[in-house]
Amino acid sequence: MRIAIGADHAGYTLKDHLRARLAEAGHELHDVGAHSEVSVDYPDFAAEVARAVAAGSAERGILVCGSGIGMAIAANRHRGVRAAACVDLYS
């Protein structure tokens, strides 16, 4: 599966862990950043992942930030994208 993945500085460490696990599982990944824990603006990364999903260049998108709410709100601004904050197996 083609997956676009992005995070802000608060989600950088978890994003890298997820990226490694997804690659091991054979998924094709497009990592839009962030690429360090230097403070960045989460809407920039949410928009890039959302555009990839809406355009069809990614089948799914994963966004990671401090709470998940900001990324979901920013991604949902894009036509054809539905994002939700997921914090456990059931959400």
- Indicate if the alpha-carbon torsion angle 55, 68, 5, 37 is positive or negative: positive
- Indicate if the alpha-carbon torsion angle 55, 80, 2, 67 is positive or negative: positive
Helix (H, G, I), strand (E, B) or coil at 64: strand
Which residues are tagged catalytic? Answer: 65
Q: Tally helices (H) and strands (E) across the chain.
A: 3, 3
